Every structure is written in structure tokens, then in C-alpha cells.
């Protein structure tokens, strides 16, 4: 009897080809489409009114997933995880912005929705595996290992770093062994309805909308002073939540006789005083740090000793790997970089690697330069 796989169908080309590959490999494939966000009403899942009236393209995505499943002759079911998504992902997203941090909701979506709520719902079909269209690989040789996708430019292990070995044990990533060009070619060869569909970008609940306007629906902006680190007034900011460390765009700083025409960047935040600090130059010294502490730590192999561990790390998606060493003291994990790193940002993920293996990671808490806490 063929082994059964329940695959998350997003309506995109990656999950479409993943389903195709599984079927070609002889699996009994069942598709499951997740609806995680309700953009069809003017209220949230708790019944609170909002002013968010923009339509999310989820219906388009569902119809695309349905056409692919019909083309492949596999069944497609639909499930709502709206309440779970609001509780475990969107509430976290808002809470982080309230703290002046820059969250990564995709990581929490993977942890709580795609590989938790999804798995629990899929259990009714008695699957041997669940599958997703992520560019990653799982190796099983006594220990579960999460490996980077073959396509370095599309590798998504950064977003999977909060998954546990138990979650990964019965997961398949069919497209992880291919590069994006090969996936597109397979979709065209097999005439999949999504073969030429553009890749989705950004956060699913925001879609193509302007981020700041969307966020203002849930967290009213509190404008404040924009200053240099020396205290020179440079204008007003529109709300600290709208800025991230190292950001250049949207500062609105015009010509100033006291300064030259070098570009300005966000170099710090003061949440208590509602101040945004800016400085000139991409390589402004304040943007560079030498260590950080992390929280919400997840290590895929629980037997791995963190204190003294030497490995590499990414502090942002698609950032180059940086050599680091970990230190653990009084249950605080400190990540010490081999070289100074620009714009390490509280709230973002710090993800550890040993070659192609993703070891896990944590969320950046505080950032330091030569032992002194940075102003962000």
C-alpha cells in the first residue's frame, strides 16, 4: 500500500510542484489549503471592529490550488486556522511592535500553524507524512537533521529554525533538492495551472498593501522627535513601530546646512522617550555590534551543548553566514561574532548553522558593541 502524504497547498508554484513530485514518487497525496487570515469582514476574530477593508487574495490562491489538484487528480480540502493564527502569530506580531522590536511572523507561522495546527488537522487522514513546498531538506539517519535547500538563493531554513525534531520527523520537503529554475521548468513541462504564477512576497496578512497603513489599523501611531545621537533635531518620526535598525527609506530628512548630503539611516530607538535616532552613512559605527543575547531558543538536537559552540549564524534572511561562538552564563545565551555585524535587530531571528545543517536558533533580545548595549 502506498504511503500517504498530506501536503499544504498554497496556490503557488512551489507547493504545486511538490505535490507533483510526491505523486510521481508513488505517494497517496491529499491536498490541504490553509485559510489563516480573514480579510472579508471589518472585524477581527474576537469581534472587534477594524478599518482594514482590503481584500486578501486568498480566494484566488484557493482556486489556483484547486485547479492544480484537479490537474493532478488529487483531493483538496480546506481548513480555517484564523483563530489560531490570530492568537499565536498575529498577537505576537503586534506585541513585538509595541516593544519597539522588529518581529518575523513567518517563523511563528511555521512553528504554530504550518507544522503544528496543520499536523493536528491532517491526523484525521492517517498520513505517514506531511509535506510543504519549502526550500529545505530533512535527513534521517538516527537523528533528524534540517538541511539547507539546494538553491542557496531560495533556502528557507531560516524560517524553519523554531521547529523541533519531533515536528520534522514526519515532514517531507520535495522541492528542497531543486533550484527555482528547475521547479519552474517542471511546472511548465507538466502544464500545471500555476506554472507562470508570480511568487508571493511579504507577510500573508498584509499582501500588497502599504505596511504602515496596515499597522496603523491595529497600533495607532505615536509621532515623536527624530534626533541625531548628539541631540540635533532632524524632524518628526511617524511612530517607532514604522522603523527598523539600518533603515534608510522614509526618513524624510531634507537638506541641512549643518550636514553634508550623505544618506541618513536609523541607528537607534528610545521607546521610553519615543525618540528615533538617525545617523549618516551606511557604515555608521553605531549600526555595528559585536555580540547579542537571544531568547526563545530552539535547538533541533537537544543533546547539542551550546556553551562554547562554534558555528555560523544568520541574523537576517539571505544575509551571509557569520562565524560565531556561543556562551551560556546564568541561563543567558550570548552570541559572540567573529567580526562586527551591521544592523543586528532585536526581535529578528538568529539562526545557527554547521555547514548545510540548520541547528536551530533564537530571537535576538539585546545587542552589544564591545560589551556596551546598543541604543536599540
Task: Give residue 37's pLDDT.
Answer: 82
Provide the Cα torsion 246, 97, 160, 45; round to 10°.
-150
How many whole angstroms separate alpha carbon 150 and alpha carbon 32?
Answer: 26
Which residue out of 69, 109, 358, 374 is catalytically annotated? Answer: 109
In order along its 376 residues, the chain shows pLDDT tens digits of 899 999 999 999 999 999 999 999 999 999 999 998 876 544 444 445 444 444 456 788 999 999 999 999 999 999 999 999 999 999 999 999 999 999 999 999 999 999 999 999 999 999 999 999 999 999 998 899 999 999 999 999 999 999 999 999 999 999 999 999 999 999 999 999 999 999 877 666 666 567 778 888 889 889 999 999 999 999 999 999 999 999 999 999 977 788 998 999 999 999 999 999 999 999 999 999 999 999 999 999 999 999 999 999 999 999 999 999 999 999 999 999 999 999 999 999 999 999 999 999 999 999 999 999 999 9
- What is the CATH number that goes with domain 4-212? 3.40.50.620
350 part of the active site: no
**C-alpha cell belonging to residue 107:** 517563523
Question: Are the beta carbons of 114 and 34 closer than 8 angstroms?
Answer: yes
How many whole angstroms separate alpha carbon 232 and alpha carbon 215?
Answer: 29
Q: Which CATH architecture has domain 288-373?
A: Beta Barrel (2.40)
* Closest among 362, 369, 317, 300 to 341, alpha carbons compared: 369
Task: Give residue 51's pLDDT.
Answer: 42
Which residue out of 56, 204, 350, 358 is catalytically annotated? Answer: 204
Domains of the chain by residue range: 4-212, 221-280, 288-373
- Say which CATH class 221-280 falls into: mainly beta
The domains spanning 4-212 and 221-280 adopt the same CATH topology: no
Question: Are the beta carbons of 99 and 363 closer than 8 angstroms?
Answer: no
How many whole angstroms separate alpha carbon 182 and alpha carbon 173?
Answer: 15
204 part of the active site: yes
User: If DSSP states are collapsed to H, E and C, what string results for the chain?
Assistant: CCCEEEEECCCCHHHHHHHHHHHHCCCEEEEEEEECCCCCCCECCCCCECCCCCCCCHHHHHHHHHHHHHHHCCCEEEEECHHHHHHHHHHHHHHHHHCCCCCCHHHHHHHHHHHHHHHHHHHHHCCCEEECCCCEEEEECCCEEEEECCCCCCCCHHHHCCCCHHHHCCEECHHHHCCHHHHHHHHHHCCCCCCCCCCCCCCCCCCCCCHHHHHHCCCCCCCEEEEECCCCEEEEECCHHHCCCCCCCCCCCCCCCCCCCCCEEEEEEECCCCEEEEEECCCCHHHEEEEEEEEEEEECCCCCCCCCCEEEEECCCCCCCEEEEEEEECCEEEEEEEEEEECCCCCCEEEEEECCEEEEEEEEEEEEECCEECCC
Amino acid at each position: 500500500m502506498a504511503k500517504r502524504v498530506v501536503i499544504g497547498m498554497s496556490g503557488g508554484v512551489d507547493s504545486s510542484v511538490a505535490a507533483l513530485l510526491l505523486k510521481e514518487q508513488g505517494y497517496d497525496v491529499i491536498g490541504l489549503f490553509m485559510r489563516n487570515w480573514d480579510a472579508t469582514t471589518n472585524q477581527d476574530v474576537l469581534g472587534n471592529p477594524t478599518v482594514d477593508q482590503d481584500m486578501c487574495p486568498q480566494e484566488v490562491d484557493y482556486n489556483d490550488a484547486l485547479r492544480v489538484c484537479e490537474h493532478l487528480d488529487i483531493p483538496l480540502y480546506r481548513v480555517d486556522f484564523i483563530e489560531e493564527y490570530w492568537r499565536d502569530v498575529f498577537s505576537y506580531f503586534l506585541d513585538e511592535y509595541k516593544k519597539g522590536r522588529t518581529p518575523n511572523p513567518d517563523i511563528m507561522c511555521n512553528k504554530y500553524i504550518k507544522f503544528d495546527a496543520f499536523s493536528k488537522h491532517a491526523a484525521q487522514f492517517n498520513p505517514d507524512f506531511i509535506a510543504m513546498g519549502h526550500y529545505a531538506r530533512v535527513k534521517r539517519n538516527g537523528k533528524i537533521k534540517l538541511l539547507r535547500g539546494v538553491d542557496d538563493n531560495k533556502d528557507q531554513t531560516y524560517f524553519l529554525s523554531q521547529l523541533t525534531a519531533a515536528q520534522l520527523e514526519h515532514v517531507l520537503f520535495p522541492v528542497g533538492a531543486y533550484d527555482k529554475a528547475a521547479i519552474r521548468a517542471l511546472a511548465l513541462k507538466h502544464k500545471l495551472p500555476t506554472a507562470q504564477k508570480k511568487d508571493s512576497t511579504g507577510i500573508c496578512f498584509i499582501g500588497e498593501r502599504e505596511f504602515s497603513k496596515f499597522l496603523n489599523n491595529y497600533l495607532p501611531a505615536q509621532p515623536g522627535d527624530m534626533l541625531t545621537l548628539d541631540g540635533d533635531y532632524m524632524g518628526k518620526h511617524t511612530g517607532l513601530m514604522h522603523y527598523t535598525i539600518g533603515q534608510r527609506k522614509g526618513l524624510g530628512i531634507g537638506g541641512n546646512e549643518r550636514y553634508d548630503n550623505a544618506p541618513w539611516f536609523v541607528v537607534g530607538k528610545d521607546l521610553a522617550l519615543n525618540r528615533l535616532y538617525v545617523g549618516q552613512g551606511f557604515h555608521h559605527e553605531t549600526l555595528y555590534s559585536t555580540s547579542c543575547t537571544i531568547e526563545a531558543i530552539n535547538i533541533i538536537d537537544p543533546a547539542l551543548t551550546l556553551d562554547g559552540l562554534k558555528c555560523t549564524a544568520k541574523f537576517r534572511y539571505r544575509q551571509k553566514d557569520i562565524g560565531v561562538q556561543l556562551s551560556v552564563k546564568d541561563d543567558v545565551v550570548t552570541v559572540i561574532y567573529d567580526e562586527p555585524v551591521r544592523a543586528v535587530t532585536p526581535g529578528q531571528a538568529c539562526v545557527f548553522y554547521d555547514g548545510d545543517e540548520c541547528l536551530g536558533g533564537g530571537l535576538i533580545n539585546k545587542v552589544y558593541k564591545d560589551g556596551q548595549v546598543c541604543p536599540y
